[in-house]
Amino acid sequence: MKTPASIVCLMFTLVLAPPVRAEDPPASPAPEATDDAPLINPQVVDKLIDMGNYLRSLPKFQVDAQVSRDTVLESGQKIKTESANTLKVVGHDRLYAKSEGDVRTREFFYNGKKLTQYSPYLKYYTTVDAPATVAETLHRVENFYGVQVPMEDLFLFGSDQAQIDALKAALYVGPSIIKGQLCDHLAFRQEGIDWQLWLTRSDKPLPCKLVITTTDEKSYPEYSAVYQWNLKPTIPETQFTFKPGKGDVAIAFKKASDQGGQ
Protein backbone atom coordinates (compact mmCIF):
# COMPACT_ATOMS: atom_id res chain seq x y z
CA MET A 1 0.00 0.00 0.00
CA LYS A 2 1.29 3.45 -0.79
CA THR A 3 2.37 5.63 2.12
CA PRO A 4 -0.36 8.01 3.35
CA ALA A 5 2.09 10.88 3.66
CA SER A 6 2.98 10.79 -0.02
CA ILE A 7 -0.64 10.28 -1.07
CA VAL A 8 -2.26 13.25 0.63
CA CYS A 9 0.62 15.68 0.93
CA LEU A 10 -1.17 18.15 -1.34
CA MET A 11 -3.48 19.49 1.34
CA PHE A 12 -1.37 21.77 3.50
CA THR A 13 0.54 24.29 1.37
CA LEU A 14 -2.34 25.67 -0.64
CA VAL A 15 -3.51 29.30 -0.60
CA LEU A 16 -5.79 30.69 2.12
CA ALA A 17 -9.54 30.54 1.46
CA PRO A 18 -12.53 31.82 3.53
CA PRO A 19 -13.44 29.60 6.51
CA VAL A 20 -16.51 27.38 6.42
CA ARG A 21 -19.09 28.24 9.08
CA ALA A 22 -21.77 25.95 10.44
CA GLU A 23 -24.47 28.07 8.80
CA ASP A 24 -22.81 28.05 5.38
CA PRO A 25 -24.52 25.98 2.68
CA PRO A 26 -22.65 22.90 1.47
CA ALA A 27 -20.37 23.19 -1.50
CA SER A 28 -22.31 23.19 -4.75
CA PRO A 29 -22.14 20.04 -6.88
CA ALA A 30 -19.42 19.90 -9.46
CA PRO A 31 -20.36 19.74 -13.17
CA GLU A 32 -20.65 16.42 -14.93
CA ALA A 33 -17.27 14.92 -15.70
CA THR A 34 -16.28 14.54 -19.35
CA ASP A 35 -13.18 13.31 -21.10
CA ASP A 36 -11.95 16.90 -21.26
CA ALA A 37 -13.29 18.19 -17.92
CA PRO A 38 -12.40 16.25 -14.76
CA LEU A 39 -14.83 16.27 -11.85
CA ILE A 40 -13.19 19.00 -9.79
CA ASN A 41 -15.29 21.14 -7.46
CA PRO A 42 -13.26 24.30 -6.75
CA GLN A 43 -15.13 24.90 -3.49
CA VAL A 44 -13.92 21.55 -2.21
CA VAL A 45 -10.33 22.46 -3.05
CA ASP A 46 -10.92 25.78 -1.26
CA LYS A 47 -11.77 23.88 1.93
CA LEU A 48 -8.37 22.21 1.76
CA ILE A 49 -6.78 25.60 1.20
CA ASP A 50 -8.32 26.97 4.37
CA MET A 51 -7.37 23.96 6.44
CA GLY A 52 -3.76 23.95 5.27
CA ASN A 53 -3.17 27.59 6.09
CA TYR A 54 -4.86 27.28 9.44
CA LEU A 55 -2.78 24.28 10.49
CA ARG A 56 0.44 26.05 9.54
CA SER A 57 -0.59 29.05 11.61
CA LEU A 58 -0.93 27.11 14.87
CA PRO A 59 1.73 28.10 17.44
CA LYS A 60 1.44 24.71 19.13
CA PHE A 61 -0.85 21.71 19.13
CA GLN A 62 -1.31 18.10 20.12
CA VAL A 63 -3.16 15.67 17.87
CA ASP A 64 -3.98 12.07 18.70
CA ALA A 65 -5.10 9.58 16.07
CA GLN A 66 -6.40 6.04 16.04
CA VAL A 67 -5.06 4.50 12.85
CA SER A 68 -5.98 1.29 11.06
CA ARG A 69 -4.11 -0.06 8.05
CA ASP A 70 -4.64 -3.01 5.71
CA THR A 71 -1.64 -5.18 4.93
CA VAL A 72 -2.09 -7.54 1.98
CA LEU A 73 -0.48 -10.98 2.19
CA GLU A 74 0.92 -12.74 -0.87
CA SER A 75 -2.23 -14.88 -0.86
CA GLY A 76 -4.31 -11.71 -1.31
CA GLN A 77 -5.76 -11.89 2.20
CA LYS A 78 -6.04 -8.53 3.98
CA ILE A 79 -4.82 -8.16 7.56
CA LYS A 80 -5.85 -5.07 9.49
CA THR A 81 -3.46 -3.60 12.04
CA GLU A 82 -4.17 -0.84 14.57
CA SER A 83 -2.04 1.84 16.18
CA ALA A 84 -2.48 4.74 18.59
CA ASN A 85 -0.54 7.84 17.54
CA THR A 86 0.36 11.12 19.21
CA LEU A 87 2.01 14.19 17.73
CA LYS A 88 3.02 17.25 19.79
CA VAL A 89 4.46 20.36 18.13
CA VAL A 90 5.61 23.76 19.40
CA GLY A 91 6.56 26.41 16.88
CA HIS A 92 8.50 25.22 13.84
CA ASP A 93 11.39 23.60 15.66
CA ARG A 94 10.11 21.20 18.33
CA LEU A 95 8.30 17.90 17.89
CA TYR A 96 7.48 14.74 19.80
CA ALA A 97 5.71 11.81 18.18
CA LYS A 98 4.76 8.31 19.24
CA SER A 99 3.14 5.40 17.43
CA GLU A 100 2.14 2.38 19.51
CA GLY A 101 0.70 -0.41 17.42
CA ASP A 102 0.28 -4.08 16.69
CA VAL A 103 3.46 -4.25 14.62
CA ARG A 104 5.87 -1.90 16.42
CA THR A 105 6.17 1.04 18.79
CA ARG A 106 8.40 4.02 18.11
CA GLU A 107 9.00 7.48 19.57
CA PHE A 108 10.57 10.54 17.94
CA PHE A 109 12.17 13.52 19.67
CA TYR A 110 13.20 16.70 17.85
CA ASN A 111 14.49 19.86 19.57
CA GLY A 112 15.56 22.00 16.62
CA LYS A 113 19.05 20.50 16.54
CA LYS A 114 18.83 16.74 16.78
CA LEU A 115 16.28 14.04 15.93
CA THR A 116 16.11 10.79 17.88
CA GLN A 117 14.16 7.67 16.98
CA TYR A 118 13.58 5.34 19.94
CA SER A 119 12.15 1.82 20.18
CA PRO A 120 11.09 1.57 23.85
CA TYR A 121 10.49 -2.18 23.90
CA LEU A 122 13.71 -3.04 22.07
CA LYS A 123 15.56 -0.25 23.95
CA TYR A 124 17.36 0.88 20.80
CA TYR A 125 17.75 4.53 19.83
CA THR A 126 19.47 6.49 17.12
CA THR A 127 20.21 10.21 17.02
CA VAL A 128 21.22 12.37 14.06
CA ASP A 129 21.91 16.05 13.52
CA ALA A 130 18.82 17.74 12.08
CA PRO A 131 17.92 20.94 10.20
CA ALA A 132 16.47 23.94 12.03
CA THR A 133 12.79 23.30 11.25
CA VAL A 134 10.33 20.43 11.61
CA ALA A 135 9.43 20.45 7.91
CA GLU A 136 13.05 20.29 6.75
CA THR A 137 13.83 17.56 9.26
CA LEU A 138 10.91 15.36 8.21
CA HIS A 139 11.84 15.79 4.57
CA ARG A 140 15.46 14.82 5.21
CA VAL A 141 14.86 11.74 7.37
CA GLU A 142 12.30 10.36 4.92
CA ASN A 143 14.42 10.93 1.82
CA PHE A 144 17.77 10.00 3.36
CA TYR A 145 16.80 7.28 5.83
CA GLY A 146 13.39 6.15 4.57
CA VAL A 147 11.85 6.95 7.97
CA GLN A 148 8.38 8.46 8.38
CA VAL A 149 7.35 10.20 11.59
CA PRO A 150 3.74 9.46 12.65
CA MET A 151 1.28 11.94 11.11
CA GLU A 152 4.05 13.80 9.30
CA ASP A 153 1.55 14.47 6.51
CA LEU A 154 0.30 17.37 8.64
CA PHE A 155 3.46 19.20 7.55
CA LEU A 156 3.82 17.89 4.01
CA PHE A 157 0.39 18.27 2.40
CA GLY A 158 0.41 20.45 -0.70
CA SER A 159 4.05 21.01 -1.36
CA ASP A 160 3.67 22.01 -5.01
CA GLN A 161 1.14 22.80 -7.74
CA ALA A 162 1.83 19.51 -9.50
CA GLN A 163 0.20 17.67 -6.60
CA ILE A 164 -2.94 19.75 -6.94
CA ASP A 165 -2.94 19.19 -10.70
CA ALA A 166 -2.80 15.42 -10.09
CA LEU A 167 -6.36 15.45 -8.73
CA LYS A 168 -8.86 13.80 -11.05
CA ALA A 169 -11.88 14.43 -8.81
CA ALA A 170 -12.75 16.63 -5.82
CA LEU A 171 -16.31 16.19 -4.54
CA TYR A 172 -18.45 17.38 -1.66
CA VAL A 173 -20.23 14.33 -0.17
CA GLY A 174 -22.20 16.05 2.60
CA PRO A 175 -22.27 16.82 6.33
CA SER A 176 -21.22 14.11 8.75
CA ILE A 177 -20.80 13.67 12.49
CA ILE A 178 -17.38 12.42 13.60
CA LYS A 179 -16.97 11.85 17.36
CA GLY A 180 -19.85 14.22 18.05
CA GLN A 181 -18.51 17.01 15.84
CA LEU A 182 -20.12 18.40 12.67
CA CYS A 183 -17.77 17.86 9.75
CA ASP A 184 -17.83 18.28 5.97
CA HIS A 185 -17.14 15.04 4.09
CA LEU A 186 -14.93 15.56 1.03
CA ALA A 187 -13.84 12.94 -1.53
CA PHE A 188 -10.89 12.99 -3.92
CA ARG A 189 -9.45 10.82 -6.65
CA GLN A 190 -6.03 10.66 -8.24
CA GLU A 191 -4.10 8.02 -10.14
CA GLY A 192 -4.30 4.75 -8.17
CA ILE A 193 -5.80 6.41 -5.12
CA ASP A 194 -9.21 7.36 -3.75
CA TRP A 195 -9.17 9.35 -0.53
CA GLN A 196 -11.73 10.95 1.73
CA LEU A 197 -11.31 13.75 4.24
CA TRP A 198 -13.68 15.00 6.93
CA LEU A 199 -13.09 18.62 8.06
CA THR A 200 -14.61 20.45 11.00
CA ARG A 201 -17.23 22.93 9.84
CA SER A 202 -16.01 25.93 11.82
CA ASP A 203 -13.64 28.89 11.70
CA LYS A 204 -10.96 26.48 12.94
CA PRO A 205 -10.89 23.92 10.12
CA LEU A 206 -9.25 20.75 11.36
CA PRO A 207 -9.15 17.25 9.88
CA CYS A 208 -11.53 14.92 11.74
CA LYS A 209 -10.93 11.75 9.74
CA LEU A 210 -8.96 10.53 6.76
CA VAL A 211 -9.52 7.38 4.66
CA ILE A 212 -7.22 6.34 1.81
CA THR A 213 -8.05 3.49 -0.58
CA THR A 214 -5.42 2.12 -2.94
CA THR A 215 -7.34 1.43 -6.14
CA ASP A 216 -4.57 -0.01 -8.29
CA GLU A 217 -4.41 -3.16 -6.13
CA LYS A 218 -7.09 -5.84 -6.53
CA SER A 219 -7.77 -6.06 -2.80
CA TYR A 220 -8.30 -2.27 -2.42
CA PRO A 221 -6.41 -1.95 0.89
CA GLU A 222 -7.32 0.99 3.12
CA TYR A 223 -5.66 3.31 5.59
CA SER A 224 -7.84 5.29 8.00
CA ALA A 225 -7.17 7.75 10.81
CA VAL A 226 -9.56 9.45 13.24
CA TYR A 227 -8.12 12.59 14.84
CA GLN A 228 -8.58 14.37 18.15
CA TRP A 229 -7.08 17.84 18.55
CA ASN A 230 -5.84 19.93 21.49
CA LEU A 231 -4.83 23.44 20.43
CA LYS A 232 -3.75 24.53 23.91
CA PRO A 233 -1.68 21.64 25.19
CA THR A 234 0.71 21.83 28.11
CA ILE A 235 3.97 20.38 26.81
CA PRO A 236 7.15 20.49 28.92
CA GLU A 237 10.30 21.54 27.07
CA THR A 238 11.97 18.29 28.15
CA GLN A 239 9.49 16.40 25.93
CA PHE A 240 11.51 17.23 22.82
CA THR A 241 14.97 15.98 23.87
CA PHE A 242 15.68 12.27 24.28
CA LYS A 243 17.62 11.12 27.33
CA PRO A 244 18.63 7.45 27.25
CA GLY A 245 17.72 5.33 30.24
CA LYS A 246 19.31 2.29 31.80
CA GLY A 247 19.83 -0.43 29.22
CA ASP A 248 19.17 1.79 26.20
CA VAL A 249 21.59 1.13 23.34
CA ALA A 250 22.60 3.58 20.62
CA ILE A 251 22.60 2.29 17.04
CA ALA A 252 23.19 3.98 13.70
CA PHE A 253 20.49 5.09 11.27
CA LYS A 254 20.65 3.05 8.06
CA LYS A 255 20.46 5.03 4.86
CA ALA A 256 17.54 4.17 2.63
CA SER A 257 20.02 3.13 -0.09
CA ASP A 258 21.52 0.57 2.31
CA GLN A 259 18.06 -0.89 2.93
CA GLY A 260 17.41 -1.61 -0.72
CA GLY A 261 15.19 1.49 -0.96
CA GLN A 262 12.83 0.20 1.73
Domain containing residue 148: 4-20+37-248
Residue 260: inside a domain: no
- 113: domain CATH number is 2.50.20.10
SS3 content of the chain, % helix, strand, coil (to 5): 20, 40, 40
Q: How many domains does the chain have?
A: 1
At 88-99, the pLDDT tens digits run: 999 999 999 999
Is 163 a residue whose pLDDT tops 80? no
Q: How far apart are CA 209 and CA 188, in angstroms?
A: 14
Is 170 a residue whose pLDDT tops 60? yes
| Residue 236 main-chain phi, psi, to 5 deg | -70, 145
At 123-141, the pLDDT tens digits run: 999 999 999 999 899 888 8
Residue 30: inside a domain: no
Contacts of 162 (CB under 8 A, 6+ apart): none
Residue 125: inside a domain: yes
At 50-85, the pLDDT tens digits run: 888 888 889 999 999 999 999 999 898 999 999 999
Task: Give the global pTM.
Answer: 0.80
Residue 258: inside a domain: no
Residue 32: inside a domain: no
Mean pLDDT, rounded, of the chain: 82
Residue 85: inside a domain: yes
Q: Do residues 151 and 176 touch, judged by C-beta distance below 8 A?
A: no
Question: Which string of DSSP letters, residue by residue, matches 28-81?
Answer: PPPPPP-SSS-EE-HHHHHHHHHHHHHHHH-SEEEEEEEEEEEEE-TTS-EEEE
Residue 162: inside a domain: yes
Q: Do residues 115 and 141 touch, judged by C-beta distance below 8 A?
A: yes
| Secondary structure (3-state) at 205 | coil
At 180-229, the pLDDT tens digits run: 999 999 999 999 999 999 999 988 899 999 999 999 988 899 999 999 99
Output the CA–CA distances (angstroms, integers) from residue 181 to 1, 211, 244, in the order listed: 30, 17, 40
- Strands 94-101 and 169-178 turn out to be unpaired
Q: How far apart are CA 120 and CA 228, in angstroms?
A: 24
Helix intervals (H) in 72-167: 134-145, 153-156, 161-165
User: What is the predicted pLDDT for the residue at 10?
Assistant: 44
Residue 27: inside a domain: no
Average pLDDT over residues 92-114: 94
